[in-house]
Structure 1
Amino acid sequence: MADTKPAAEQSGTYAIVEASGTQIWLQPNRYYDIDRLQAEVDDTIKLENVLLVKDGKGTTLGQPYVKEASVSLKVMAHRRGPKVIVYKMRPKKKTRRKNGHRQELTRVMVESISVGGKAIS
């Protein structure tokens, strides 16, 4: 049976980057929802805080960041996450508080992962 996965997924190319105070696993040609970024739709963003890069040749681990590595992202849309209900109640005190929260998100498409100026994906 033939493999129908794209070449990037077959080789297992990915990068772990630091963005918005969190670490995110990114693969090329996939979209992700991350915390809201200050960018317009269709802008290209470059993330420089790359912690790890895995490609067909091997794994490069940064201390703390991989030198000359970057991930290029294209902003697709600004969205809001699902509603989360926060309900606090103190028993026997007749105190109740109900709150809702929707996280502001940015949907981005990973265009390329590059190390040393050369795109590996």
Structure 2
Amino acid sequence: MNNYAIIDVGGKQLLVEPGRFYDTYRFASIGCKVSSFERKVSVYRVSLICFGSELIVGRPWLNNAMVKIRILHNCFDKKNLIGEIQHKKTGRGRKSGHRQEFVRFVVESICLNGKNLMRV
């Protein structure tokens, strides 16, 4: 794991490597609709880039750095149960919950100052 970057997407920071895919919450800036699958997006909120033995840290973000990603599809997490409501008379209950919606994307390249440092 010599070549990686730390980016901020979906409200959390991810350590990403080129060629791997990741799941995150919906992108607020693009508002992923059904038509946006296989869409290429550039993420400019890059906190850190590690390339070989070189480590470049931003405060809070790196200038002229971006990570190019491609959105694959939507996916769902396992169902989160909110709670179980018990009825007084029958003793039966009902579970309620939701499935968190994720966006799966793959990292294509990591760029710094217009040059591709790492590419798939």
TM-score range, shorter chain: 0.7 to 0.9
The equivalent of 2:98 in structure 1 is 101
Which of 89, 111, 114 aligns to 2:111? It is: 114
Q: Which residue of 1 aligns with 2:82?
A: 86
Question: In structure 1, what is the Cα distance between the partners aligned to 2:20 and 2:116?
Answer: 16
Shift of 1:60: 0.4
Match of 1:25 among 15, 23, 29: 15
**Which residue pairs with 2:55 in the alignment?**
59
Runs of at least 5 residues in structure 2 that lack an aligned partner in the other structure: 86-92
Distance 2:110 2:20 in 1: 12
Residue of structure 2 in register with 1:43 after alignment: 39
Deviations 1:40-72 (A, max 9, x none): 111001100000000114110001101100000
Aligned residue pair count: 107
Which protein is richer in strand relative to its size? 2
- Any unmatched runs of 5+ in structure 1? 1-8, 90-95
